[in-house]
Chain A
Amino acid sequence: MAEAPAHDYPTIEPTSFDVVICGTGLPESVLAAACAAAGKTVLHVDPNPFYGSLYSSVPLPSFLSPDPSSVPLSPSGDDSHTVVDLHRRNIYSEVETSGVAPEPSRRFTVDLVGPRVLYCADEAVDLLLRSGGSHHVEFKSVEGRSLLYWEGQLYPVPDSRQAIFLDAATLKLTEKTVLFRFFELVRAHIAAADEDVEGEEASDKISEEDLDLPFVEYLKKQQLPPKMRAVVLYAIAMADYDQDTDCCEKLLTTREGIQTIALYSSSIGRFANAQRAFIYPMYGHGELTQAFCRCAAVKGALYVLRMPISALLMDEERKNCLGARLTSGQDILCQQLILDPSYKVPILDAPSDGSDSNLLRKVARGICIISKSVKQDSSNLLIVFPPKSLEEQQIAAIRGLQLSSNLAVCPPGMFMVYLSTPCADTSTGKQCIKKAIDALFAPQASDSLEGHLKETSENNEDLKPTVIWSCVYVQEITELFTDICPNEEFLPKKSAAVYADDDSDSAE
């Protein structure tokens, strides 16, 4: 630790912690809060100057020209440990933009992992309430009805009895009956399942046989026409991959489907001021990670931003991790080390690369700025493009989210639209997102003058909104991520009071 670093890195006291967490993404932040609450000493560092890592919300200018994340390699310190150098990957790449971002562009906040919303009844919300994180973040309802893209048009998603009743324009009468009958079936099943845990076979319950059936087969059995199946599968049960193929791996079972519907329906009406199932944190999703970080800080966790980790400190057999070397050159010893997915750990990369290479681990995302809502009278809403709805090669659903200025992510009169889809490779993913953008919006006018745009939109209310600015990029969901933080799912389930010892091993 002799040499003074180029940056003015602070020196950290003490030099030994129970847990060192690097990266302030959502999983890391939850962990930090949990560990701190469990009485562990926590050092939480982030190489970026902002909170959230992958999950952060950044002003538009910072998104377009990120801080050069050059990691000046610190010289090796004393050699009591085996030092494994770390490399970082970008949290997003292949950014393609078009159009000019309207000024003041700083007033646009960009979620790196958009589109993302929370179910009101989600365990993550429970976790927020339980951990006290809810004091640090404010939510707004995604109050518009979700839209489904079907045969070239956007249809409102009928998700409740009243919604089915009121939708006279796009739902056929027979579709109404079948869909509501299905909802009733599910409702009765959920109610019956809630009532008797003893497993007495209630007549209202859906049979075990049916529960093990692929959900799509069950929907067919209930005589739902294709469009209604798409509504249930992709807009309510939130299936990602095409359910009409034979690839069983991605097929939802009825049980899973109904679980999501149960979550969906219990979300509606959970909070008095959220009319629908989903909520979104004001000022963007980055607020969520900060909320957990604040919880951790309140419990004594130490926070240092702009502080990358440059290397792991291992024991001689390279089996156990003893600590981390910070970019400042300081060595921190710890019992557990947790790294966010932007770090490449050379020793872990090797085994995981070979297996499961066919799994999709890339997500293509798009962000658009528009000045007119996709649907009149709705400000915040979800949009779903079921698989194959845009083109034959579209293997997964594309999800979209329109946010308005009431979430403080853009100036009044503007809307942000996020799109994402899992993809096998960068180009097809980006292609899909671009198709979705084309389907939603009118192409940018070549002479995109503000005044001209306004004129045309006033002339015709039915006109699609025009894209003012858009960008498409790709994020990698790496295997490393799943190794270190076995995937997002486990986190919300973790009680904040439990020390996340077993699941979150640092490098072996």
Chain B
Amino acid sequence: MHGRPRRPAKPEDEEAASAKAAKLRDLQAQVLHNHHARTYTKEAIGLSFKLLEINPEAYTAWNYRKLAFQHNVKELSDPEAIKSAVDDELRVVEVALRQNPKSYGAWYHRKWLLNQKLAPVDFKREFGLLDKLLKVDARNFHGWNYRRFLSRFMGVPDEEELKYTMDKISENFSNYSAWHNRSILLSNLLIQQSKGFESKQKIFSEEFELVTQALFTDPSDQSGWFYHLWLLAQTSSPDNPQLIASWPSNAAKLTSSLMKEKVEQHTLSSIWSRTVPIVLYFNEPVKGLNQSSVNLKSDLEFSKDIQWRPLTMADSGYSNCWAAYLQISNECSSLQEYSVEVNIPCSDDIVSRSGSNYNSPVHFTFDIELISNDTAQGLDLFDKPVAWNCSESFQSHGNRDPIPVDLLKITSALVEQDSNWHFERLSEEIDLFRELPDDNSKFGKLTLARLLLACAAIKSRGRSLIERKGYCEEALGLFTDLIHLDPSHKQCYEDERSLVLMDKLTCDMETFMKHCSVQVQPNSAPLNHVQLCRLSLTRIGFAERLLWVQMLDLSHNSLRSVEGLEALQHLVFLNISNNQISSFTALEPLTKIISLKVLDLSFNKIGAHSIDTTRYICSSPFSHKIEASEAFEEYQKVNINVEEYWDAILFFRSLKLAQLDIKGNEIASKENFRTLVVTLIPCLKWFDGEDVN
């Protein structure tokens, strides 16, 4: 129940409590004994009832009753007798629910009983029970769960259930469960295209209107805001997944050397040797990319066995970002330009989480020029440690790299014509929330910011870019307000703010170019360099616009995570010094970047906390596959403290770094940490500016 203050316990209460506990212990022991002895007599079952009457949470007692019921019902043949046995069990559940209306065990027992389908279900009684329960507490989510179960069981039309949610909302709109059920029912009805639910636009317009009534009545009530968030998500994102970026981009020209793998181990540049990664970036997580759903055609000979892999930390199989590696076969030796054609037709294989399939076919081509071994710089790039020379600007270097420009062109070409309705709807909502008289409503501000960003996402092309920046600008202000207004959710707002900031800085070429440059490293071709320093970024966003970046400087921000960087399959140099990274597990996305050679982690917070909980959030030794544990055994043999450094081991063993800076972290000051790293990365040449050898 909600809004009831707790009273401190009185001494006499405690006495009663201990007496109750003794009784419970006694009952529990007897029930367990009967359970083990498989005693299913009437008396024994009666004892379990007594226990459940006092404590409906005794799950074992429920299970015991299930076994007893199954055992005893077998011997019955008369349908009447079976019905009365079922009714008895149902009554036990009712008694338990009277004691605790939110008892998981009791609710489950009831569902289990009905699912046995031993006797006809008295739906009138079931719905009557529910009505009573939801009258006492309209927000009892168990009741709502059971209602969904019943209506499915009985085949109640969704339309009727939708009406019921409206009744409950009319009684009291502060009801998460009712709103939630509404969202489920509406989704079903829209998918089924039931009568009266053919037009998503009409339905959502009405829903927006309904929920704004609640939001404006009491902006401090959260339930409506959550429903609004769901509506917004339904409105702002396209129905079907779309490809929003790729690398190589359309009409890009690449060069690839024909050098042998081991020779060019440390020779890195924009030049790829026989391996060309192809990265596809979608607007929402999808699965099902494979050789048949993505067609590659070329006069270039390459290995036909192409594996599309999701670039993500999650194991769900869904990812925004997918990569495949084009292996140029050894027979291919003539130095000439080859063109590669990528074709993604409408496909039922490629589906989003919501189950909608990919239906905006995309076609693009790029060229690969094969160059001989001699033209590539054969010298060792890591002759000296690489310095992060921030002063060299893009403008000073005459040679403009065409890649980023092309990339954006592709992005815009790929995005579908924006739906006018979406934009109009969102604009209306924005106008509304700008007028919300409650200036200090955090939900009001947050929702307005999200609306603005949804609008910004639609305005991604040409002339509308100015508008997009306007939306971003306003959203940034709102998040800054929110950080002060609601300090307990500061980090969340900072993350959101970082995303907007990244959007603002990268959405148009003019602004973006201020952060781009071409770095000339000795012994290397020019590198595409992007610098996003001192921006208070806490997380990475819009990685799809950075797919071409080879050198990325994110130093002096407040990054807590580097999620998103895994998409940058071109990245060779990464500087995340002076950030707030607190564990190696937070750096796990970097292990997906096979080209990464230089990593600056200095002055972060790795190892700063003796008990680092974030260490366990992303992954743990237990979540890793067998290879990991085999690796652990191996390292144990060379006297590495696996228990202490398991996350460092998992991180470094997957990297092929030539240069690592990690000074200024707690962990770096630990004894034998350097030895550990050197052991884990055999190819490492420079450690904190010192030659490893």
- Name A residues whose Cβ lies closer than 8 Å to a Cβ of B: 161-162, 164-166, 168, 173-174, 176-178, 180-181, 184, 223
Q: How far is the CA of A161 from the CA of B215 in the complex (A)?
A: 11
Q: B219 at the A/B interface (Cβ < 8 Å)?
A: yes
Report the number of A-B residue pairs with Cβ-Cβ less than 8 Å: 43
Q: How far is the CA of A165 from the CA of B178 in the complex (A)?
A: 15
**Could you tell me if A168 and B213 are in contact, using CB atoms closer than 8 angstroms?**
yes
**Could you tell me if A162 and B172 are in contact, using CB atoms closer than 8 angstroms?**
yes
Q: A162-B170, A174-B436, A176-B213 provided; 12 other pairs, C-beta below 8 A?
A: A162-B172, A162-B173, A164-B217, A165-B173, A165-B218, A168-B209, A174-B437, A177-B436, A180-B217, A180-B218, A181-B438, A223-B437
Q: Which residues of A lie under 8 Å from residue B315 when comparing CB positions?
A: none
Q: How far is the CA of A168 from the CA of B438 in the complex (A)?
A: 19
Q: How far is the CA of A178 from the CA of B438 in the complex (A)?
A: 8
In the complex, the chain A residue whose C-beta lies closest to that of B433 is: A173
**Could you tell me if B170 and A166 are in contact, using CB atoms closer than 8 angstroms?**
yes
**Could you tell me if B437 and A165 are in contact, using CB atoms closer than 8 angstroms?**
no
**Could you tell me if B170 and A173 are in contact, using CB atoms closer than 8 angstroms?**
no
Contact with A173, one of B172, B173, B210, B216 (Cβ below 8 angstroms): B216
**Could you tell me if A177 and B173 are in contact, using CB atoms closer than 8 angstroms?**
no
Q: How far is the CA of A180 from the CA of B214 in the complex (A)?
A: 11
Contact with B213, one of A173, A178, A223 (Cβ below 8 angstroms): A173
**Could you tell me if B171 and A177 are in contact, using CB atoms closer than 8 angstroms?**
no
Q: Which residues of A lie under 8 Å from residue B210 when comparing CB positions?
A: 168
**Could you tell me if A177 and B437 are in contact, using CB atoms closer than 8 angstroms?**
yes
1/0 per position for B153-196, CB-CB distance to A under 8 A? 00000000000000000111100000000000000000000000
Q: B413 at the A/B interface (Cβ < 8 Å)?
A: no
**Could you tell me if A177 and B216 are in contact, using CB atoms closer than 8 angstroms?**
yes
**Could you tell me if A173 and B432 are in contact, using CB atoms closer than 8 angstroms?**
yes
Q: How far is the CA of A181 from the CA of B432 in the complex (A)?
A: 18
Expressed in whole angstroms, the minimum distance between the Cβ of B172 and any Cβ of chain A is 7
Q: How far is the CA of A173 from the CA of B523 in the complex (A)?
A: 66
Q: B12 at the A/B interface (Cβ < 8 Å)?
A: no
Q: How far is the CA of A223 from the CA of B435 in the complex (A)?
A: 14
Expressed in whole angstroms, the minimum distance between the Cβ of A183 and any Cβ of chain B is 10
Q: How far is the CA of A174 from the CA of B436 in the complex (A)?
A: 6
Q: B320 at the A/B interface (Cβ < 8 Å)?
A: no
Q: How far is the CA of A64 from the CA of B270 in the complex (A)?
A: 105
Q: B255 at the A/B interface (Cβ < 8 Å)?
A: no
Q: How far is the CA of A371 from the CA of B466 in the complex (A)?
A: 63
Q: How far is the CA of A164 from the CA of B213 in the complex (A)?
A: 8
In the complex, the chain A residue whose C-beta lies closest to that of B438 is: A177
Question: Given contacts A165-B214, A166-B213, A180-B218, are A173 and B435 in contact (CB under 8 A)?
Answer: yes
**Which B580-624 residues have a C-beta within 8 angstroms of A?**
none
Q: How far is the CA of A168 from the CA of B173 in the complex (A)?
A: 14
Q: B528 at the A/B interface (Cβ < 8 Å)?
A: no
Q: B577 at the A/B interface (Cβ < 8 Å)?
A: no
Q: Which residues of A lie under 8 Å from residue B432 when comparing CB positions?
A: 173
Q: How far is the CA of A269 from the CA of B623 in the complex (A)?
A: 56
**Could you tell me if B213 and A161 are in contact, using CB atoms closer than 8 angstroms?**
no
Q: B267 at the A/B interface (Cβ < 8 Å)?
A: no
Q: How far is the CA of A506 from the CA of B532 in the complex (A)?
A: 93
In the complex, the chain B residue whose C-beta lies closest to that of A167 is: B213
Q: How far is the CA of A162 from the CA of B173 in the complex (A)?
A: 7
Q: B212 at the A/B interface (Cβ < 8 Å)?
A: yes
Interface residue SS majority, chain A? helix
**Could you tell me if B435 and A174 are in contact, using CB atoms closer than 8 angstroms?**
yes
**Which B187-232 residues have a C-beta within 8 angstroms of A?**
209-210, 212-214, 216-219
**Could you tell me if B438 and A176 are in contact, using CB atoms closer than 8 angstroms?**
no
- Name B residues whose Cβ lies closer than 8 Å to a Cβ of A: 170-173, 209-210, 212-214, 216-219, 432, 435-438
Contact with A177, one of B172, B209, B219 (Cβ below 8 angstroms): B219
Enumerate 21 A-B pairs (CB-CB under 8 Å) in ascending A order: A162-B170, A162-B171, A164-B217, A165-B173, A165-B214, A166-B170, A166-B213, A168-B209, A168-B210, A173-B213, A173-B216, A173-B435, A173-B436, A174-B436, A174-B437, A176-B216, A177-B216, A178-B437, A180-B217, A180-B218, A223-B437
Q: How far is the CA of A174 from the CA of B173 in the complex (A)?
A: 18
Q: Which residues of B lie under 8 Å from residue A168 when comparing CB positions?
A: 209-210, 213
Q: How far is the CA of A161 from the CA of B217 in the complex (A)?
A: 7
In the complex, the chain B residue whose C-beta lies closest to that of A223 is: B437
Q: How far is the CA of A161 from the CA of B169 in the complex (A)?
A: 12
Q: Which residues of B lie under 8 Å from residue A181 when comparing CB positions?
A: 437-438
Q: Which residues of A lie under 8 Å from residue B218 when comparing CB positions?
A: 161, 165, 180, 184
Expressed in whole angstroms, the minimum distance between the Cβ of B345 and any Cβ of chain A is 46
Q: Which residues of A lie under 8 Å from residue B170 when comparing CB positions?
A: 162, 166
Expressed in whole angstroms, the minimum distance between the Cβ of A221 and any Cβ of chain B is 14
**Could you tell me if A177 and B213 are in contact, using CB atoms closer than 8 angstroms?**
no
Q: How far is the CA of A166 from the CA of B217 in the complex (A)?
A: 9
Q: How far is the CA of A223 from the CA of B437 in the complex (A)?
A: 10
In the complex, the chain B residue whose C-beta lies closest to that of A178 is: B437
Q: How far is the CA of A471 from the CA of B36 in the complex (A)?
A: 86
In the complex, the chain A residue whose C-beta lies closest to that of B436 is: A177
Q: Which residues of B lie under 8 Å from residue A180 when comparing CB positions?
A: 217-218
Expressed in whole angstroms, the minimum distance between the Cβ of A224 and any Cβ of chain B is 11
Q: How far is the CA of A40 from the CA of B286 in the complex (A)?
A: 90
**Could you tell me if A174 and B209 are in contact, using CB atoms closer than 8 angstroms?**
no
Q: How far is the CA of A174 from the CA of B217 in the complex (A)?
A: 8
Q: Which residues of B lie under 8 Å from residue A174 when comparing CB positions?
A: 216, 435-437
Q: Which residues of A lie under 8 Å from residue B438 when comparing CB positions?
A: 177, 181
Expressed in whole angstroms, the minimum distance between the Cβ of B445 and any Cβ of chain A is 14
Q: Which residues of A lie under 8 Å from residue B436 when comparing CB positions?
A: 173-174, 177
Q: Which residues of A lie under 8 Å from residue B213 when comparing CB positions?
A: 165-166, 168, 173, 176
Give 9 closest A-B pairs by Cβ, nearest first: A173-B216, A176-B216, A165-B217, A177-B437, A164-B217, A176-B217, A177-B216, A180-B217, A165-B173
Q: How far is the CA of A180 from the CA of B432 in the complex (A)?
A: 17
In the complex, the chain B residue whose C-beta lies closest to that of A168 is: B213
Q: Which residues of B lie under 8 Å from residue A165 when comparing CB positions?
A: 173, 213-214, 217-218
In the complex, the chain B residue whose C-beta lies closest to that of A166 is: B170
Q: Which residues of A lie under 8 Å from residue B209 when comparing CB positions?
A: 168
Q: Which residues of A lie under 8 Å from residue B171 when comparing CB positions?
A: 162
Q: How far is the CA of A166 from the CA of B173 in the complex (A)?
A: 9
Expressed in whole angstroms, the minimum distance between the Cβ of A269 and any Cβ of chain B is 13
Expressed in whole angstroms, the minimum distance between the Cβ of A101 and any Cβ of chain B is 40
Expressed in whole angstroms, the minimum distance between the Cβ of A64 and any Cβ of chain B is 45
Expressed in whole angstroms, the minimum distance between the Cβ of B127 and any Cβ of chain A is 23
Q: Which residues of A lie under 8 Å from residue B217 when comparing CB positions?
A: 161, 164-165, 176-177, 180
Expressed in whole angstroms, the minimum distance between the Cβ of B432 and any Cβ of chain A is 7
In the complex, the chain B residue whose C-beta lies closest to that of A162 is: B172
Q: Which residues of B lie under 8 Å from residue A166 when comparing CB positions?
A: 170, 213
In the complex, the chain A residue whose C-beta lies closest to that of B435 is: A174
Expressed in whole angstroms, the minimum distance between the Cβ of A228 and any Cβ of chain B is 12
In the complex, the chain B residue whose C-beta lies closest to that of A158 is: B217
Q: Which residues of B lie under 8 Å from residue A161 when comparing CB positions?
A: 217-218
Expressed in whole angstroms, the minimum distance between the Cβ of A172 and any Cβ of chain B is 9
Expressed in whole angstroms, the minimum distance between the Cβ of B35 and any Cβ of chain A is 45
Q: Which residues of A lie under 8 Å from residue B435 when comparing CB positions?
A: 173-174
Q: Which residues of B lie under 8 Å from residue A176 when comparing CB positions?
A: 213, 216-217
Expressed in whole angstroms, the minimum distance between the Cβ of A85 and any Cβ of chain B is 63
Expressed in whole angstroms, the minimum distance between the Cβ of B636 and any Cβ of chain A is 61
In the complex, the chain A residue whose C-beta lies closest to that of B219 is: A177
Q: How far is the CA of A176 from the CA of B209 in the complex (A)?
A: 14
Q: How far is the CA of A173 from the CA of B432 in the complex (A)?
A: 8
Q: Which residues of B lie under 8 Å from residue A164 when comparing CB positions?
A: 217
Q: How far is the CA of A174 from the CA of B212 in the complex (A)?
A: 11
